[in-house]
Chains A and B, each alone.
Chain A
């Protein structure tokens, strides 16, 4: 077997050193009746690299990859061009095959990357500090709600109806077990987000309001107004950013008064990957640092006085505090954080602003063309690179019919919000710098055909 270096002679000589007759003697603690006599029946035996590659390639070919068709999906996962150097660098074995940097003297590469990553995230979000990553945006969102409860010593969280429904489901699932009080506002097909309803829901018991920015329908909430109302009642604002490229163009949530900013970092460096692994981003005010979840990298000096980096403030974490830890998170998304950081280093702030401008322009071109189709209208007053179209019929069917024509035409609100009947004619459409004029035209033509087919 190509991955197992021990030879038969090695095994014999090692057993001799150990003083065991056979390798089974090393499993003596396993009760005999629980020991399998040989390889598990009914499963295939080992296979060559060529054979495995053939099997996996066949499976991959059964999928329609985003790059092989006109593609307009978003809803918390965005297709951006990732520079070739990003994937090259994250595959350097020194990054790829290292562990969590518990021995800082021989992990300065990873640690310095994390320090740079934390700085990048904090500057992007407009927060004082950021941590070294969470699993993804949805889990970071729940952790932010828990953290807000620790900071404010209150336990009622208000979630905007514009929050990604998967994020909302994660929060409601967890809260069911922890008994936290969650107020979930109902999503509605309105041109502007539910800022007024969020503000009206804040009371003296509210620990935080959770507002996605831009929201799941692509609308942009007025974070400053929400923050003013929340702070007046002693509540925190948790801003959720699922498309960080937007922050190249629209104001940083921290600058508008958000106290905790979490997000999904997948857009930069990571790629679509059918939903994971992704990258949870987590920033907040410096005064909350001891209530933060997750790993933190900090600057220090070594015995020679040289600058160096270590994991720090670990008295918040599970391996020290055990059941009193701020979170149970251990392994996070280190390599995705590296990819994000490299991509953002390549772009720089000005490059990100330019990229964001192109995204917005491509979305404008997309919606300008699609709303020329009879019966199709745009919901949003404002949007970045994603917005909601109102179709004359259930968008779930339209999406499936478009797929038959090899057009990946957005995410239906019926799939996102299956129980909310009033939303089913909504279609969430995203465009990025990867969207071409030809893609837009192909989408428009096929959408026209699909909608005509229904009315005929």
Chain B
């Protein structure tokens, strides 16, 4: 394995800010910058916006409704605002800084053309309730993206409005509920594999179903026999993640779907891991009835520190009539129509209702369509192949040091799963994860899936170069060796991050969820007040 830091760069600070050789007067250490809260920096007499005509604004007509005092929110001028948020941004790790190998999260590069296109005034400065003649280009974006999603998945239809993956899951399950209602059947159980993402059982419960768990086989797949044994007249359907959360394809998907259909149920597929198979496999060919697609995973819209996402749901012929309002259709003459409450009775009377105000995540649709057009059918196929290749490269480059529980049964898909078995006594996944931070990487997904003890789920994505992967692999191997040798310094990692390990117990025991001080206290607080030494 090639040497780490081949460029010769070394961390300039001995043991992190907290253990530096001397304390600086400012509390900052070179480019390691501390930043107070906006509430501590701002004051009531500052404003970063010059408001036209503010002096001649009458407020008559509101009488008894008037607020007694302006909200207690300190303001900052523009230079202070730009500096506050820029300094804060430097305390974040991000894809733009290096690999972000969170398993099941598909943290790939976010192309900047997507951002530019979403900001065209013709998309960004458009009101959702403008007359249809003034929004035809927007409806066309939705229709074109819908067409790509339908074709890529081999399904009949797509509901575009869900706001994120979990919201898409809910949409799919409500379509199933509506289809059962239309059949006049009451089925109240949804089967969910124990390896599923937490949103699956939460969504099923949110939609009013009872959740029954299906075990995994020793090979990390759904136990088909156990699943079949649970099928019956009370089962509305199954929720299966494919590729699954162990990073493996479910080879028996078609058999499972056939059995579920034969028993009168429907198949929901969690599409969080679609990146592994886009352009290679169409879920519609596997008997899937509904699948959400996280545009913020497979189709590169940015995660933004926790959203916004978008979760369109592709639907089979059986579920398509129940898709929620609003949606966009193309007539036989090529004209595009927006279907909402006003005109739904014309041929869409079975729509199960509405999940959001307006049309869904338009800003994500423009970004995803831009991404899809950039790649084309050939490029998307290459995306899946490179994502799977990168994951298998990590798997085979580390499995001699970190046990890979399912590697004997063959290649993985887009993510490599390891466990912490075999580390020295008292060392675990957490030590490897926090050690990676010191190495300059974001950790992988840890302790998930729950079916593997001390799980480490690494999803490199296709946008990592081989050289970048080699650096990551070298760090991961080095950490595994240190953990096997019982290197105690790992227990206190990270040493070089903006913060050391944080006291999560304290945060939960005495929740402090809003700033407790008074607004507009002038001046920067002393370092001791913001917690420095």
Query: In the bound complex, do residue A87 and residue B130 qualify as a contact, i.e. CB atoms below 8 Å apart?
Result: no
Complex: A301 Cα to B500 Cα, angstroms = 9
Complex interface: chain A residues within 8 A of B107 (CB) = 97, 99
Query: In the bound complex, do residue B375 and residue A29 qualify as a contact, i.e. CB atoms below 8 Å apart?
Result: no
* Size category, B interface: 35 or more
Complex interface: chain B residues within 8 A of A3 (CB) = 109, 111, 374-375, 463
The answer to whether A79 and B304 touch (CB under 8 A), given A27-B388, A63-B122, A276-B359, is: no
Shortest Cβ distance from A402 into chain B, in angstroms? 8
Q: Is B275 an interface residue (CB 8 A)?
A: no
Query: In the bound complex, do residue A105 and residue B363 qualify as a contact, i.e. CB atoms below 8 Å apart?
Result: no
Query: In the bound complex, do residue B302 and residue A97 qualify as a contact, i.e. CB atoms below 8 Å apart?
Result: yes
Q: Is B30 an interface residue (CB 8 A)?
A: no
Query: In the bound complex, do residue A335 and residue B304 qualify as a contact, i.e. CB atoms below 8 Å apart?
Result: yes
The answer to whether A97 and B378 touch (CB under 8 A), given A60-B122, A77-B129, is: no
Contact of B47 among A59, A122, A321, A351 (CB under 8 A): A351
Contact mask for chain B residues 410-431; partner A; CB cutoff 8 A; 1 contact, 0 none:
1101000000000000000000
Complex: A116 Cα to B377 Cα, angstroms = 43
Complex: A179 Cα to B177 Cα, angstroms = 13
Contact of B127 among A66, A93, A95, A298 (CB under 8 A): A66
Query: In the bound complex, do residue A345 and residue B81 qualify as a contact, i.e. CB atoms below 8 Å apart?
Result: yes
Query: In the bound complex, do residue A289 and residue B511 qualify as a contact, i.e. CB atoms below 8 Å apart?
Result: yes
Closest to A104 in B: B502
The answer to whether A97 and B94 touch (CB under 8 A), given A34-B286, A130-B514, is: yes
Shortest Cβ distance from A23 into chain B, in angstroms? 5
Stretch at the interface among B6-14, B137-145, B227-235, B480-488: B137-145
Q: Tell me the residues in window 77-98 of chain A with beta carbons closer than 8 Å to chain B beta carbons.
A: 77, 79, 83, 85, 87-98
Query: In the bound complex, do residue A30 and residue B126 qualify as a contact, i.e. CB atoms below 8 Å apart?
Result: no
Complex: A355 Cα to B118 Cα, angstroms = 27
Stretch at the interface among A133-141, A202-210, A438-446: A133-141
Closest to B200 in A: A322
Q: Tell me the residues in window 434-464 of chain B with beta carbons closer than 8 Å to chain A beta carbons.
A: 434, 437, 442-443, 448, 462-464
Q: Is B330 an interface residue (CB 8 A)?
A: no
**B120, B203, B499, B530, most chain A CB atoms within 10 A:** B499
Query: In the bound complex, do residue B75 and residue A331 qualify as a contact, i.e. CB atoms below 8 Å apart?
Result: no
**A106, A167, A361, most chain B CB atoms within 10 A:** A106
User: Count the A-B residue pairs with Cβ separation under 8 angstroms: how many?
Assistant: 736
Shortest Cβ distance from A426 into chain B, in angstroms? 14
Complex: A384 Cα to B62 Cα, angstroms = 8
Query: In the bound complex, do residue A335 and residue B308 qualify as a contact, i.e. CB atoms below 8 Å apart?
Result: yes
Q: Tell me the residues in window 368-399 of chain B with beta carbons closer than 8 Å to chain A beta carbons.
A: 369-370, 373-383, 385-386, 388-390, 392-393, 395-397
Complex: A369 Cα to B62 Cα, angstroms = 19
Q: Is A372 an interface residue (CB 8 A)?
A: no
Contact mask for chain A residues 10-27; partner B; CB cutoff 8 A; 1 contact, 0 none:
110111011110010111
The answer to whether A107 and B93 touch (CB under 8 A), given A47-B373, A307-B531, is: yes
Shortest Cβ distance from A11 into chain B, in angstroms? 6
Query: In the bound complex, do residue A173 and residue B140 qualify as a contact, i.e. CB atoms below 8 Å apart?
Result: no
Shortest Cβ distance from A9 into chain B, in angstroms? 9
Shortest Cβ distance from B339 into chain A, in angstroms? 12
Contact of B378 among A46, A63, A77, A96 (CB under 8 A): A46
Complex interface: chain A residues within 8 A of B282 (CB) = 34, 36, 40
Query: In the bound complex, do residue B82 and residue A312 qualify as a contact, i.e. CB atoms below 8 Å apart?
Result: no
Q: Is A178 an interface residue (CB 8 A)?
A: yes
Contact mask for chain A residues 103-138; partner B; CB cutoff 8 A; 1 contact, 0 none:
111111110110110111011100011101101111
Q: Is A392 an interface residue (CB 8 A)?
A: no
Contact of B198 among A20, A73, A318 (CB under 8 A): A318
Shortest Cβ distance from A149 into chain B, in angstroms? 13
Q: Is B265 an interface residue (CB 8 A)?
A: no
Query: In the bound complex, do residue B163 and residue A382 qualify as a contact, i.e. CB atoms below 8 Å apart?
Result: no
Q: Tell me the residues in window 275-305 of chain A with beta carbons closer than 8 Å to chain B beta carbons.
A: 275-278, 289, 295-305
Q: Is A338 an interface residue (CB 8 A)?
A: yes
Q: Is B172 an interface residue (CB 8 A)?
A: no
Shortest Cβ distance from A227 into chain B, in angstroms? 15
Query: In the bound complex, do residue B306 and residue A360 qualify as a contact, i.e. CB atoms below 8 Å apart?
Result: no
Contact of A103 among B46, B437, B500 (CB under 8 A): B437
Complex interface: chain A residues within 8 A of B122 (CB) = 57, 59-63, 65
Contact of A334 among B75, B307, B310, B390 (CB under 8 A): B307
Q: Is A358 an interface residue (CB 8 A)?
A: yes
Query: In the bound complex, do residue A29 and residue B410 qualify as a contact, i.e. CB atoms below 8 Å apart?
Result: yes
Q: Is A349 an interface residue (CB 8 A)?
A: yes
Closest to A178 in B: B208
Closest to B494 in A: A105
Query: In the bound complex, do residue B166 and residue A330 qualify as a contact, i.e. CB atoms below 8 Å apart?
Result: yes
Query: In the bound complex, do residue A1 and residue B120 qualify as a contact, i.e. CB atoms below 8 Å apart?
Result: no
Q: Is A185 an interface residue (CB 8 A)?
A: no
Q: Is A196 an interface residue (CB 8 A)?
A: no
Q: Is B24 an interface residue (CB 8 A)?
A: no
Closest to B39 in A: A119
Contact of B57 among A166, A349, A358, A415 (CB under 8 A): A358
Query: In the bound complex, do residue A98 and residue B92 qualify as a contact, i.e. CB atoms below 8 Å apart?
Result: yes
Query: In the bound complex, do residue A63 and residue B134 qualify as a contact, i.e. CB atoms below 8 Å apart?
Result: yes
Complex interface: chain B residues within 8 A of A88 (CB) = 82
Contact of B361 among A277, A332, A419 (CB under 8 A): A277
Shortest Cβ distance from B391 into chain A, in angstroms? 9
Shortest Cβ distance from A430 into chain B, in angstroms? 10
Query: In the bound complex, do residue B302 and residue A250 qualify as a contact, i.e. CB atoms below 8 Å apart?
Result: no
Complex: A30 Cα to B202 Cα, angstroms = 29
Q: Is B187 an interface residue (CB 8 A)?
A: no
Complex interface: chain B residues within 8 A of A382 (CB) = 61-63, 65
Closest to A314 in B: B508
Q: Is A399 an interface residue (CB 8 A)?
A: yes
Query: In the bound complex, do residue B119 and residue A87 qualify as a contact, i.e. CB atoms below 8 Å apart?
Result: yes
Query: In the bound complex, do residue A169 and residue B70 qualify as a contact, i.e. CB atoms below 8 Å apart?
Result: no
Query: In the bound complex, do residue B73 and residue A56 qualify as a contact, i.e. CB atoms below 8 Å apart?
Result: no
Q: Is A43 an interface residue (CB 8 A)?
A: yes
The answer to whether A179 and B202 touch (CB under 8 A), given A248-B71, A338-B304, A349-B519, is: no
Query: In the bound complex, do residue B74 and residue A43 qualify as a contact, i.e. CB atoms below 8 Å apart?
Result: no
Contact mask for chain B residues 320-347; partner A; CB cutoff 8 A; 1 contact, 0 none:
0000110000000000000001100000
Stretch at the interface among A150-158, A231-239, A266-274, A447-455: A266-274
**A130, A273, A341, most chain B CB atoms within 10 A:** A273
Q: Is A364 an interface residue (CB 8 A)?
A: yes
Contact mask for chain B residues 59-77; partner A; CB cutoff 8 A; 1 contact, 0 none:
1111101111011111110
Closest to B76 in A: A345
Q: Tell me the residues in window 163-192 of chain A with beta carbons closer than 8 Å to chain B beta carbons.
A: 164-167, 169-170, 172-174, 176-179
Q: Is A329 an interface residue (CB 8 A)?
A: yes
Contact mask for chain A residues 219-259; partner B; CB cutoff 8 A; 1 contact, 0 none:
01000000000000000000000000001111110010000
Complex: A131 Cα to B434 Cα, angstroms = 27
Shortest Cβ distance from A125 into chain B, in angstroms? 9
**B152, B501, B530, most chain A CB atoms within 10 A:** B501
Sorted nearest first, the 6 A-B pairs with minimum C-beta distance are A348-B75, A173-B353, A60-B122, A335-B304, A275-B358, A93-B96
Other A-B pairs beyond A6-B390, A40-B279, A333-B306, 10, CB < 8 Å: A2-B374, A13-B466, A28-B410, A67-B121, A73-B129, A130-B513, A135-B308, A319-B197, A325-B205, A357-B59
10 contacts between A and B (CB under 8 A): A27-B281, A44-B377, A63-B135, A97-B107, A106-B498, A298-B512, A318-B201, A323-B204, A353-B67, A400-B131
